[in-house]
Structure formats: structure tokens, C-alpha cells
Structure 1
Amino acid sequence: MKSYSIAVVGAGAVGLSAALAFARDGFETVLIGGLDARRDGRTVALLNGSVQFLRALGVWPSLVSEAAPLETMRIIDDTGSLFRPPPVSFSSREIDLDAFGWNIENATLVERLAGAARSFDHLTILPQHATGFQASEDRGVLTLADGSEIEVNLAVAADGRNSRLRQIAGIEAQTWSYPQTALTAILAHDREHRETSTEFHTRNGPFTLVPLPGRRSSLVWVMSPKQAERLSKLDDEALALVIERQAQSLMGAMRIVGPRGVVPMTGLSVNRYGAPRLALVGEAAHVFPPIGAQGLNLGFRDVASLRDAVVDAFDDGRDPGTPETVRQYQRSRDLDVRLRTAAVDGLNRTLLTGLLPADLLRGAGLLALGKVGFLRRAVMREGVLPHMGAPRLMQDAAGA
């Protein structure tokens, strides 16, 4: 039976980054999962902390030419509310950043991470699925689809919202859904986006255009399931015209230039982030609707926090999978994830309610952000990366 220090199960962006992070620090690591990336029209806005993390892993130079900087974020109330605040813009320069983050196609990100993984020292790739896991006091044993087994100090579950390892460990997950669906697409447009992300708050949810390189943007349009079904049946030309009208022609004429997707709006949270010899990261631990660029960024923060706990254990002479390592990881993630879950859920529900008190509260908040400089800057800093308790690889590109 082969033995490894760390096993990462799941080869999406979060799983790949976890495997790279542990191998980078010299831990003998195995990545279990197939390296494939399907293009589905989805992009991810990598906030500043995630960029620092990818830079520390040595991957960012291969990504930067494929990504567009997000220098300005603009919010426009399009709910038709009686209390309608003026548009609010946030500039990264106000918090001394060149950009809040960078927007890139998810498939491109996975491809570059997979390319790095194939040539990393201390990293073995097994293109299989894990079907079982057992933990003892001193080791964990993973069973693979071909019946073989491997011993590990710590298994990292990065196997998504339907995580098999989470289920085996008996970790409860709370799930919920929204009466909404997100339509995603890649667009070309006649006017420059000027590195500005624009989010229209509509009564059915946000309509967001995020820059891509050139005169292109990615779209996340949250709407009712019936509307999503109707629009998804339109041809590219007709859909582009509907999108242009919803965007109030800010970008001029639009064309669909990439894959389209339809994503049901759901959420998931867990009551704990680990079990003996096991830690959950990414969507195995939390699922967000595609609002506020929180999902993958939180997943990367999971990985960087778990990496800190493992390194601290090694420095103290403990192996990576001890209960104290898992407890340290739990403490580092619990409050951060809960607060952001509540924030995204709360914003989305205030858009849906249509009640005047909720509109007043949301509108007053946007008005305050537009008028009160120190408040606006504090919110921007917290949104990009909370400094209190930030993982070390997100503080300094050189790592720690």
C-alpha cells in the first residue's frame, strides 16, 4: 500500500490549488481526480488575496494574460423601487490596489493549474475516483475506484457539493435553494468596458457584466427559472439583443462569443469542516450563489488556511492529520464563511422581497457607501481580503 502525507480528492480549481500548495511545501502529496476542464461560459473574479495565493504557487504568470483587471465596481439600482439610490462606484485606487481582482474563464484557470500540477515535485496524480475512506488514530486509508488503497496522514475533500468523502465521514450539510436561476455567457461588445464591472440590481436578482480581455465581458444574470428557460431557447443574436437592452446599452451592441450556461441558484453549509484525518475545502464545505465573487475565492482561502494549519503542525513536530490540525483549520474558517454566507444570502433576499422596508434598508446602505468615504473603503478592503486572520500565502506572494 502506497503512503502519502496529503491526499487531495477532487481536481477542480480548489483541489488543484490544494495539491500545489502542499507539494510546494515539500509534503508528499497525491491528487485523486481527472484533469479536465469543460468550457461552460462561466468565469471567476479572482480577488486580490486569491491572486496573491496563485502568485505564491507560481501559477499567476501563466494566467495574467488571459485575465482582465477589475479596477472599478459599479452598482446600479434597477429594481423600480420607490427609494432608488443613485449609482455607486468603487475604485481599487481608494484602497491602494491596482485592481480589486482579475476576471478569467474558469476552464482556463483549471487548465493552467493542471498544467502546473503535471510538473510539480512531490506531487503524484491519480486520475481516479475515491470510493471509500477510513480513519484511525495515526493514519487514514482511501479506497480508489479500482479497488486499490493508499495511506495518508490527511485527506482533503475537494470533491464538490455532492462530496462523497463528506458523506462517508457523516458530516451534515444543510442545503437550500432560491427561486432563481443564473444565465451565464461570454459577450463581445462595441464599447470599451474600461476595466469596470457593472452590477444592476433587478427585482429578480443581480445582472452583472464583468470585464474580460479586449472588448469582452462575462455575464451572470440572475432571474426567475421561467425567464431563464425562455431566454435559454433564444438563438445567440436574439439573446444578445435582450442582454444589450437589460444593460441599458452601456457597452453598445453585443454578441455572444462563447458558451452559454444555466445554473440553478442553491446554497450549502456544513456543521463542521473536518473529521478524523479529513478536512473539507471549497464546495464540499460551502456553496454560494454566483453573487459577489465569493465562492471560489472562499475556496482558495480554505486551502491557504488549511495549509497554514498543516505547516504549523509540522513545525511543532506533529503530523498533518492530528485533531489539533483539523481544529485549527475549523477555527480559521468558521466565522469567515458564516459571515459571507449571511451577507450574500441577505443581499439576494432583499432584492427578491419587494417590501418597502427591505428596499429602504438596501437603498440606504448603498447611499451610505456612496457618500461616506471611510465606510466605503472599509467595505472594499473586507470584500477583497479580510486582513484579520488572512492566511499567510494571501498576505505575501513570497509565502511564509
Structure 2
Amino acid sequence: MTQIFNFSAGPAVLPRPVLERAQAEMLDWHGSGMSVMEMSHRGKEFMSILAKTEADLRTLMNIPSNYKVLFLQGGAIAENAMIPLNLLGGKAADYAVTGGWSKRSVEDASAYGKINVVASTEADKYTYVPDFSTWTLNKDAAYLHICTNETMSGVEFVDLPNTNGVPIVADMSSHILSREVDVSQYGVIYGGAQKNIGPAGLCIVIVREDLLDHASSLTPAVFNWKTQAENQSMINTPPTYSIYIAGLVFEWLIEQGGVAAIEKVNVAKAKLLYDYIDSTDFYVNHVAVKNRSRMNIPFFLKDESLNDAFLKGAQENGLLQLKGHRAVGGMRASIYNAMPIEGLQALVAYMKAFESKYSA
């Protein structure tokens, strides 16, 4: 069988050792006689899984003690509602729009209060992060919301604006754990698991404790971060199996040397593909070099009539899920932590062969 490399943006590739371990533990977790899927979420077995998963995440991200870690359901899109419900407190909030997902965040949050768009690159088809000097930040805002890596358009933040104390809320769904982050610079970090952490069904929220007392009285208990924090993310039954797999991914990442080590690998992987794209006019990436994502790399064929042939050939060569997001078009290679550098080598080799075959 041809070696398969899965470039899906999410649900995405998982480390093979994680899948093999989950397979080995499927019917009997550590002699308990139960699958993790069958355990009571309040039993000692699952409680030990939850505790270790949180501890390993805190280690990997160096999360300060004054931050709570929540394991929630609904994905990052549910947080579009939970964030204003938990943080607005009668104020307005600032939002920067640098891609399709941050635009969606604005649309969803607007139902819950006053939302100010302080920067937007929609007119330029989301190809960069605008210079912070152009942002119209409000000193009295409840928070500033950003998406630090836009999965669709492949735009990534490399630094942060000075908000003069206004908490920054960051959707890190598609690059969390791929690079070192100073958690203390943020009020809230959140992300869906299905890109760089584990299977769909889990959303992780890291929230500073002083932000837990601003929830609207209309906030349902299951959406209330303070209530969830006080109940170890178990005001309802949490996504137990997704948490278990996330824990295995965290263990695997620690074995790789942690976030600092995997970041070096990610830099090398992204460079391999970007360097080739930049070496030819057969393919093009429109994102400003400074803001090119390391995790999601969109690219276009100069002759887009060849798109179907490119995807068909890629499939035949074991290179899967390369079609770009429907809102963007073209191609997209998502190269999360679990994607080995051999996948990038295979992709570049195929792109070179395809170019050679179809160049005029």
C-alpha cells in the first residue's frame, strides 16, 4: 500500500504511536476491565486520566497557576457565544478580523452585545495581519478577540498588540502547541482539539482566574466558565474519550521534547514547502511572508484548470485532503505536529513532478 499522508485541516492526522496505544487500550484500560468509553466520568479511573491530561498540558504550555484549564464541548464555535456571555459584563468588546474564522466570531458574538471591529483585512482577501498602529483599540473594551492562526487563509500572528491592560482572547485552534506561547500575555486561550490535539468533540479553554466573575446572569450553567471551573469541567458529562486521546497526544509531545522541540520541526516542515512554492511561478501563496502560517499552507496553481488533475494525482500518490477550503479555493496543506517531515518531502516531490509534466 502507498504511504498515506493526510493533510486534512481537521479532523486531522494523529501521531501513529497515539493511535496504536489507544488501540491496545481499547478493550481494557490499565487492567480496569473497561474501555475509556465505558467509564464513569466521576470514577477514579477517568478522574486520574483527567488529572494527568491537565497536568501535562500545564507542563507543555507552562500555564501559570492563576489560570484555569477547562475541557468543554461544542468546539471553538460554541466559544463564540460563551466568550461574550462570560466576559462582556455590560461593556463592548473589540474584534480583529484577519480571516474567515475571526469573521465568524464577530457574527456570532454580535448577538450578545456591542462588538467593535477594530481591524479587518477582508478587503485584501485575508492575506496579512494589519500593522497594529492601524487598529482602533478601545481602552474600555471588555476584551480584544483575535484568531492567532487562520486555518482557511493561512495567516498567523507573530506578535501581539499593546492593549494597555485589556485582556486578549485568542482562538488558537489550529496552532496551539505548535510553537511556544507566553500564556500570561493572554486573558483567555481556547481551541478546538481536532487539529493539533486530538479528535473532534473537545474544546480546551485556558482562562485567567480574575476573568471568571463577569458572566451574564443569562449564561447557562454548562456555558459558565466559573461554574465549570468549580466543577472540574463536569457540570455535565465531558467528552471523555476525546480527553483521553488528548492526554495521549500530550504524552507523545512531551516524549518529542516538548513544544520547543516540535516548533523546530514545524519550522523546518513549513520552510520546505514555502521554499519550493517561492522558487517557481507554477504555484503561488498570497500571504505576506511575515504572516505565513506554519500549520496551514494554502497555495494556488497558476493555471487553475489543472486543479482536478493535481488533486487526482495527489490522491494516487497517497497525498490526501489537499483541496482548499471552499471559501478560499485552491489547495491547502495542513501540517500539524503529527505530520512527519517525510510528508512534506513527498508533497514537494509530487508538486515538482506535476509541474514538470504540465509546464508549458
**TM-score category, normalised to shorter length:** under 0.3
Relative to the length of structure 2, the TM-score reads 0.27
Relative to the length of structure 1, the TM-score reads 0.25
Higher strand share: 1
